[in-house]
Structure 1
Amino acid sequence: MEMEPKADEVIVDLPTYFRIYKSGRVDLLHRPVFVPAGVDDASGVASKDVVLDATTGLSVRLFLPKLQEPSSKKLPILVYFHGGGFIIESAKSTTYHNYLTSLASAAGVLAVSVDYRLAPAHPLPAAYDDCWSALRWAASAQDAWLADHGDASRVFVAGDSAGGNIVHNMLVRGASSADNAPRIEGAVLLHPYFGGSTAMEGEEEGAVAVTAMMWASACPGAADGADDPRFNPIAPGAPELERIGCERVLVCTAEKDWLATRGRAYYEAVVASAWPGDAAWLESKGEEHVFFLLKPECENAKQLMDRVVAFIAGA
């Protein structure tokens, strides 16, 4: 008798976000609501979309805070990479549109939010390549908003979760690239998405297994698996952290974040390295992963926003 084929096994199931199968198939359970660009009535922040590559679909959404007239002061440029495990979300979603609107207003920055290609349809390094292209574009001030209002001598990068991972990889790429790498003044890693093949002290085995399988789905060609230096920046053989390409770093985690152990280890490794820059740390007590996106009006989210604003201001 011919046996029925075994049903495709689910290896990662994150309700309301995505489901990953052993075959590599991914069910996208999270369907973000998109928000059109325009002017925010409450803050006066204006936004617009710019297509950078019609072939790949790479685009960015720019956020320009309300300007005080008359004013000739240029604004710092903040290039932002959204989270979502490299698999979901968008710069145009309600979540990230609202967050970048608030950040541009509070920090007085001209923000460039990158809508990079997503896995598994576009496996890594597609997202890294898109973000590098967008970063170089933003620093070159080709757009009228950037040319008229952006200070290309003060470029910052920031991102949450997978976006925090992208921030690190942009710093590494900038340090090792002779290809017109932009000067980056500061980097903000919000609850960065790092992992590895074995659990660290204080890290749950289950979290390690889930992040490893998520990474494999986003980057199936990684020779070192979860110890790929792009995912585990403190793995043996990873690029030396002393060479990350920026002057200042702020690493933020949350006490109950399943990725907090990795975020702290990254911060401590940067501090212990010979990197000559200034590193700062913030842990939000009692909070979970990317809580500031889910409940932006809570006190801890306001404190985190204040810290990011102060960091950009140089405090």
Structure 2
Amino acid sequence: MDSEVAHDFSPFFQVYKDGRVERFFGTEFVPPSLDPRTGVSSKDVIIAPETGVSARIYIPKIINNPIGKLPLLVYFHGGAFCLGSAFSPTYHSYLNSLVAEANVVAVSVEYRLAPEHLLPIAYHDSWASFEWVASHSKGEGSEAWLKDHADFSRVFFAGDSAGANIAHNMAMRAGAAELDGLKLLGVVLVHPYFLGEGEERVDKLWHFLCPSTTGCDDPRINPAAGPSLSGLGCTRVLVCVAEKDRLRERGVFYYETLGKSGWEGEMEIMETDGEDHVFHLFNPTCQKAVEMTKKMASFMNRDIIPSL
């Protein structure tokens, strides 16, 4: 075993000369459960056996109610494309809380991580996961929780950090696709991981994880550099930024660029004062994290009118 480091991207990971990857956090796993705190149930599904791409599906405690079937959230976890998991304690706890507050069905996608699986594999896995979800809207697919409880006319994408980047890219791809039987209503981007010119430290990581990139003019990491955002395939967007987050300016710039693009949807931006990047994951019970969860829940439910 060669202990010499070939690539050091602390505090995220190191790659040794023998090819081993050592991650410094984000590797814990918890099983699906019936969460006693929220009443939310979860289970894991294999989406693509040949690649191992999978997901954790959540349903809230109340699934039979006057509004009929529930909005469907497809969630992409963060972690700079190289850390984190839909099956980690952090994201499992967060999705339990979000699903309970919003009363939605959620599919939390487990895409493959770089550097073992270099980008754009995470994007391919995420789209394959969405296609699997979408197959249930046409009566195909074998997942009963989706067939029985999800309203495919009210679908949302959401993610934080790199997951927000993925959510944006999936929404752009959805805008150019035929979504027969499914309607993508909205996208929530929480502290999105986008780049611009002059961000050398982060740019170095991006180049390593995505060797095919052209750099900061790559629309996958800099949406303003690519096709017009007018092609975004949803009708409303919520961008969440945090005052102390080094990525704040990129999130605000995305919001402003979308507003100038000719996209005809509705836009909202929510800034949290005094907080840093993905603070809500590290301190999920603080008042500001609770407020952001409530905002996301409201965003996904505002068009729902209970049946009389």
Q: Give me the TM-score of the superposition, normalised by structure 1.
A: 0.88
Does structure 1 conserve the Cα–Cα contact (< 8 Å) formed by 2:153 and 2:181?
no
CA distance in 2, matches of 1:306, 1:21: 43
CA distance in 2, matches of 1:8, 1:45: 43
- The equivalent residue for 2:85 is 90
- The equivalent residue for 2:306 is none
In structure 2, runs of 5+ residues without a counterpart are: 304-308
1:22 deviates by 11
Question: Equivalent of 2:106, from 107, 111, 118?
Answer: 111
1:212 deviates by 0.5
The one-letter amino acid paired with 1:13 is S
Change (3 A) 1:54 1:105: same
Change (3 A) 1:219 1:44: same
- Given the alignment of the two structures, is residue 42 of structure 1 paired with residue 37 of structure 2, yes or no? yes
Question: Equivalent of 1:227, from 210, 217, 234?
Answer: 217
Does structure 1 conserve the Cα–Cα contact (< 8 Å) formed by 2:109 and 2:126?
yes
- The equivalent residue for 1:13 is 10
Question: Equivalent of 2:23, from 28, 31, 34?
Answer: 28
Deviations 1:101-134 (CA, angstroms, capped at 9, x unpaired): 1001000000000000111111111111111111
Instruction: Count residues in correspondence.
Output: 295
- The equivalent residue for 1:99 is 94
- The equivalent residue for 1:244 is 232
CA distance in 1, matches of 2:30, 2:127: 25
1:18 deviates by 2.4
Does structure 2 conserve the Cα–Cα contact (< 8 Å) formed by 1:172 and 1:239?
no
1:249 deviates by 0.2
State, as a whole percentage, how many aligned pairs show the same letter. Answer: 47
The one-letter amino acid paired with 2:268 is A
The one-letter amino acid paired with 1:277 is G
Does structure 2 conserve the Cα–Cα contact (< 8 Å) formed by 1:124 and 1:219?
yes
CA distance in 2, matches of 1:85, 1:23: 23
Counting only pairs closer than 5 Å after superposition, residues 171-250 of structure 1 correspond to structure 2 as 171-178=171-178, 182-196=182-196, 198-199=197-198, 208-222=199-213, 224-235=214-225, 238-250=226-238
1:26 deviates by 5.1
CA distance in 1, matches of 2:241, 2:19: 30
1:185 deviates by 0.3
CA distance in 2, matches of 1:164, 1:31: 18
CA distance in 2, matches of 1:92, 1:8: 28
The one-letter amino acid paired with 2:204 is M
CA distance in 2, matches of 1:175, 1:294: 33
CA distance in 1, matches of 2:222, 2:202: 11
Question: Equivalent of 2:279, from 283, 287, 291?
Answer: 291
1:260 deviates by 0.5
CA distance in 1, matches of 2:292, 2:220: 26
1:67 deviates by 2.0
The one-letter amino acid paired with 1:127 is A
CA distance in 2, matches of 1:44, 1:91: 19
Query: Equivalent residue of 1:189, what SS?
Result: strand
Change (3 A) 1:162 1:104: same
1:28 deviates by 1.3
Change (3 A) 1:121 1:167: same
- The equivalent residue for 2:170 is 170
Change (3 A) 1:268 1:188: same
CA distance in 1, matches of 2:65, 2:156: 25
Does structure 1 conserve the Cα–Cα contact (< 8 Å) formed by 2:244 and 2:276?
yes
Deviations 1:71-108 (CA, angstroms, capped at 9, x unpaired): 67101000000000100111000000000010010000
RMSD in angstroms over aligned alpha carbons?
2.2
Query: Equivalent residue of 1:226, what SS?
Result: coil
- The equivalent residue for 2:49 is 54
Does structure 1 conserve the Cα–Cα contact (< 8 Å) formed by 2:5 and 2:14?
no
- The equivalent residue for 1:202 is none
CA distance in 1, matches of 2:184, 2:22: 37
Query: Equivalent residue of 1:123, what SS?
Result: coil
The one-letter amino acid paired with 1:256 is K
1:32 deviates by 2.5
1:176 deviates by 2.1
